[in-house]
Structure formats: structure tokens, C-alpha cells
Amino acid sequence: MQCEIIAIGTELLLGQIQDTNSSWLGENLALIGVDNYYQSKIGDNEERIVDALKLALSRSDAIICCGGLGPTQDDITREAIAKATDSKLILNEKVAEKIEYMFSSRGRHMTQNNLKQAMIPKGGIAIEDQPGTAPGILFPFKNKVIYAVPGVPYELKQIMRSTILPDLKKRSGSTTIIKSRTLRTWGHTESKLAELLEPKIEQLNESQNTTLAFLASGIEGLKLRITVKGETEEEIAQQLDNEEKHIRSIIGDVVFGVNSETIEQRILKNLQDKNLTLSAVEIATDGLASTRLGKVDSLGKYFKGCIIPKSQLSKHQLLQHTQKESDFSETKRLADAVRNFFDSDIGLAITYSEKEGVNYLAISSNNILIEEAMKLPGDGVRVSQFSVITALNLLRVQIENNLV
């Protein structure tokens, strides 16, 4: 079964907002075994939306329209669906009552244009799961189906999960189960990972039921997504376990997380497991690492705090807490100083050299005092992100190898 995605909204074409909905939809269609060969973005123009719908109906079994279901003049997805299929829009009284109740229950006056959202193409169904004022639409057309969902991401995802994905799965008749597992890595470049895994990828390409994909995600790491098709949950889980074990043996100690696990969550777990505390000083990254660490340890039990010295005076005041000789580099002495200042087991420093155009990291504990230069690509934002994940990953390796 082929399902096409049409994202509607001039703001998407102007780059005012990013079309994250289509990416999410494509991923989730794949997980139920539904093919997605076409995705398009169309502005708020009825004629062009109608043309896009007619083209999609000529080549796909199902269509998902995202956006354009609101109450304003430029919300014209309903009208375009009706026109493309020679249907009429009919007021759904039940939906109209629900919209009115949403307003009255919040003590707000409902303007009449909100009833536009209760107009449904004749023969279509208003999806009962309605998180916002605009309902989703399920519209069977000949031997095909058109879905329309709000563009608000949380509304779209809720309607897709509760109604549309199960409906598509049923219509497709597929019994295949598809599951993915994502390994988050740091330490190898994308090209290096591809080189190491080339024989594995060739093997998987021949298997037809398992694939491996790469995704560079900034501070979230380089992701390796393993996807497996099978007939049972048990079969797929075993295959995912086997593939993960084999991939780890090939790429070495560069996996810091699985699925949604972040580098800062892994660091916190390591600190908990070893009963260690950490503090940081960030000059090059303006507290980015500490903000992320603080969110996963909001009570400060393991991450004790951060200092961001923005002036030479504040930096020199912090350096007074170091116990290292002045012939050590400044980055090393800052890592030692922040450890002493917070009385933590580990001190982490991320600094930069304007003269060299290079960021530095240092880690201080009772057992080690190490420093690394970080020559990283990209603009200021990317360099900061890469600096943070590089520093935290080195810290992860040191803790897990019992070196700190």
C-alpha cells in the first residue's frame, strides 16, 4: 500500500516553520509497513491543493493532508478535498456542538467562523478523537482514502496514533510487524562508521528484512537506526538484539545511548552507578552542557553545579581554587579549580583559544588530569554542540573504564 503526504501551508514554503510533521509521518508509516514514495508542500492556494490531490489520487492508495483545517480564510483543505473529489461540504452537527462546548467550557465566546471546522465532505467521517477545535477527516473515495489532520504537531500525532495509523494498517492487510532501534554514537565520523559497517550493510541489503540507516543529529550524536521486519514481536526483538550486538562489536566503544537515551542521561547514570559527583566550568559553550545535565539531575545530587566566567577577573577568581601548578594549561587548572570549588569528585572544563581557533576540554579527578583539543567543523552553534557531546563522551569513557 502506498500513502502520500501533502503538507499544506504557505508558511512551510516561506521557511517560517519547519515541516517536522512529514518526517514524523514518513517514519511512522514505515513502521506499519505502508510505503511512502511522495511528499509535497503546497501553499494556501485552493487550485494548487486540488491539483496536488488529483495527482496523489492518480498514483497512491491513501493521502494524508496536514494543515489547513482551522477557522480562517486561508484554511482551505476541506474545500480543496471536496472540489478534487466533486463532493459537497456538509455541516456535522455533532462536531459543531463539540466546538461550541470547547469554547463555553473555557469561558470564551465562539465566533461563527469556528463552525467552518465542522464542515465535512459528504461521505466523509469526522474523526472522533478531537484534541483541538479542528477535527481530523477520514474520507473514503472510490477504492482509495483521503485523511486530513491539523497541522499542530501534538494534535496530528494523537489523531494519527489513535485512528489513522490503525485504519491504514487494516486497509493495507499487512501482517508484517516493523520495529526500529536507534544506537546513538559519538567518536567516529559518519564516513568512518559507513566504512566500518560497509560489509554489514551489504549483508543486510541481501537479507531483505533488516536495514541500517545513518542520521547525523548534532548534540544528539550520530544515530544508527536498525529496522527489522518480521511476523512476531519475539522474532523481531531477537533480531534487533543480534544486530545491535554485532554492530557494537564492529564500531567499538562509541555507543552512548539507545533510542531516546541522551548523552547527559548516560552521564547521570554513570555518576549514579559509581556514586560520583561532577561540576563544570564552561567558557566556550556558555553553559550548554550544564543546562542539559541540570535538566536530568534537577536536585543536583550528582551534578553539583557550573560556573561560566565571562570576564578575565571571574576566571582568575575561580583559578584561585586550583591546587595545580601554574605550568599546567589553563584548561586543566580550571577543571581542577571547579572541582575544588564545588567539592565534587570530577571537574570538567570546556574552553577556547581565540589565537588558535580551537576549543579545549579537560577532566580533573583525584586520579587523572587530562586535556584534549577539539578541532570541530561548523558555525558557532554547531561547534558548541559538538564540543559538549565530545566532552561528555570522553567523560563517559573515563568513568566507564574506571579511570576517574
Run of H or E including 374: strand 369-374
Q: Which three cell numbers stand for residue 139?
A: 474520507
Above 80 in pLDDT, residue 2?
yes
What pLDDT is stored for residue 33 in this prediction?
86
The per-residue pLDDT for 42 is: 97
Under the banding of pLDDT at 50, 70 and 90, the label for residue 147 is: very high
| DSSP-assigned beta bridge partners for residue 215 | 223
Which residues lie across from 63 on neighbouring strands? 4, 146
pLDDT at 89 exceeding the cut of 90: yes
3-state SS, residue 264:
helix
Dist. CA 3–CA 332, nearest whole Å: 56
| Residue 267 pLDDT class (50, 70, 90 cuts) | very high
pLDDT at residue 188 greater than cutoff 80: yes
- Average pLDDT over every residue of 160-171: 96
- Tell me which of 208 and 301 has the higher pLDDT: 301
pLDDT band of 30, cuts 50, 70, 90:
confident
Residue 83: φ, ψ to 5°? -70, -40
45-71 confidence digits (pLDDT tens): 999 999 999 999 999 999 999 999 999
Q: Is the pLDDT of residue 186 over 90?
A: yes
Structure confidence at residue 231 (pLDDT): 86
pLDDT of residue 284: 94
Residue found by looking up cell 508484517 in the block: 176
Domain with CATH 3.90.950.20 in the chain: 263-400
Q: What is the spatial distance between Cα 353 and Cα 75, in angstroms, rounded to a whole number?
A: 52
The answer, yes or no, to whether residue 378 has pLDDT greater than 80, is no
pLDDT tens by residue, 199-223: 999 998 888 789 999 988 888 999 9
Higher model confidence: residue 365 or residue 310?
365
Whole-angstrom Cα distance, residue 119 to residue 70?
11
Tell me the average pLDDT of the chain: 94
Please compute the mean of the pLDDT values over residues 167-175 and round it to a whole number: 91
335-371: pLDDT as tens digits: 999 999 999 999 999 999 877 889 999 999 999 999 9
Kindly report the pTM of this predicted structure.
0.78
Q: How far apart are CA 306 and CA 7, in angstroms?
A: 43
User: CA 382 to CA 36: how far, in whole Å?
Assistant: 31
What is the structure's pLDDT at 24?
94
Indicate the pLDDT class of residue 376, thresholds 50, 70 and 90.
confident
CATH of domain 3-172: 3.40.980.10
Q: Which of 47-56, 303-312, 323-332, 387-396 has the lowest mean pLDDT?
A: 323-332
Contact status, residue 24 vs residue 153, Cβ threshold 8 Å: yes
Residues 45, 83 contacting (CB under 8 angstroms): no
The model's confidence at residue 178, banded by pLDDT at 50, 70 and 90, is confident
Segment holding 364, helix H or strand E:
strand 358-364
Q: Which segments of the chain belong to CATH 3.40.980.10? A: 3-172
Q: Is 232 exposed, middle or buried (0-12, 13-18, 19+ CB in 10 A)?
A: exposed
The arithmetic mean of pLDDT across residues 182-207, rounded, is 93
Q: What is the pLDDT of residue 106?
A: 87
| Percentage of residues in the chain having pLDDT higher than 90 | 86
Cell numbers that stand for 154 in this block: 501534538
Phi, psi dihedral angles at 16 (to 5 degrees): -75, -30
For cell 548523552, name the residue.
Answer: 263
Q: Is the pLDDT at 380 greater than 90, yes or no?
A: no
- Of how many residues is the chain composed? 404
pLDDT for 294: 96
Fold of 263-400: Maf protein (3.90.950)
Query: How is the chain split among helix, strand and coil, in percent rounded to 5?
Result: 45, 25, 30
Identify the CA nearest to 211 among candidates 202, 221, 223.
Answer: 202
Fold of 177-258: Alpha-Beta Plaits (3.30.70)
Task: Check residue 199 and give its pLDDT.
Answer: 94
Residue 175 pLDDT: 80
| Pairing status of strand 177-185 against strand 210-216 | unpaired
> Is pLDDT above 80 for 191?
yes
CB atoms within 10 A of CB 272: 12
Q: In this structure, what is the dihedral angle of CA atoms 189, 192, 196, 198, given to the nearest 10 degrees?
A: 110
